[in-house]
Amino acid sequence: MPAGAAITVAALVLVASVVTGREEGRAPDRISNATIEPSGAVASEDLDLERLKRVKKEGEIQDLFADRFWNPGPAQAASTPTAAATKPAPPPAPSAPPLPFRYLGRLADGDKLTVFLEKNQEALSAAAGDTIESTYQVESIADSAVNFVYLPLGTKQVLSIPAQR
């Protein structure tokens, strides 16, 4: 047997003997005159069985697995609304977000009007019928407003044009 293996085995035996020695050396706290009968029962004059009984304190849960559901009595059940009567309200209908554009100006080229818009510090130009970023379509351009359609919902929105001086 190599020397390293012998030292390891000796160390393990020493540790095991210390651990088992601690367990065997430990004595119970309060059984002085107790005797263990062949059936496994403990007989003792010093053992106070009344101290083993647990007294229920107010608010303490005795049975951890008992049902804890509150069932109203017949008088209370009649005054409590039923689940069918208290259906939650349906969620509000989706709506278009506010227009992300700011009006910068317009250009009239014959019959064709082009508006210049700003979105996130980026300048855009659009004419009636144009689609912007697959989300907004310019429906029409008037003297006082640009009419958009929010394509995901088909909602119409209006961007007011400030009066010219």
Whether the model clears a pTM of 0.85, i.e. scores above it, the answer is no
Report residue 1's pLDDT band, with 50, 70 and 90 as the boundaries: low
Class of domain 102-160: mainly beta
**pLDDT cut 70: percent of the chain above it:** 66
Helix (H), strand (E), coil (C) string for the chain: CCHHHHHHHHHHHHHHHHHHHHHHHCCCCCCCCCEECCCCCEECCCCCHHHHCCCCCCCCCCCCCCCCCCCCCHHHHHHCCCCCCCCCCCCCCCCCCCCCCEEEEEEEECCEEEEEEEECCEEEEEECCCEECCCEEEEEECCCEEEEEECCCCEEEEEECCCCC
In this predicted structure, what is the pLDDT of residue 41? 59
Asked whether residue 78 carries a pLDDT value surpassing 60, the answer given is no
- Judged against a pLDDT cut of 90, whether residue 155 lies above it is answered with yes
pLDDT classification of 131: cutoffs 50, 70, 90: very high
pLDDT tens-digit map of 50-70 = 777 777 777 766 666 766 666
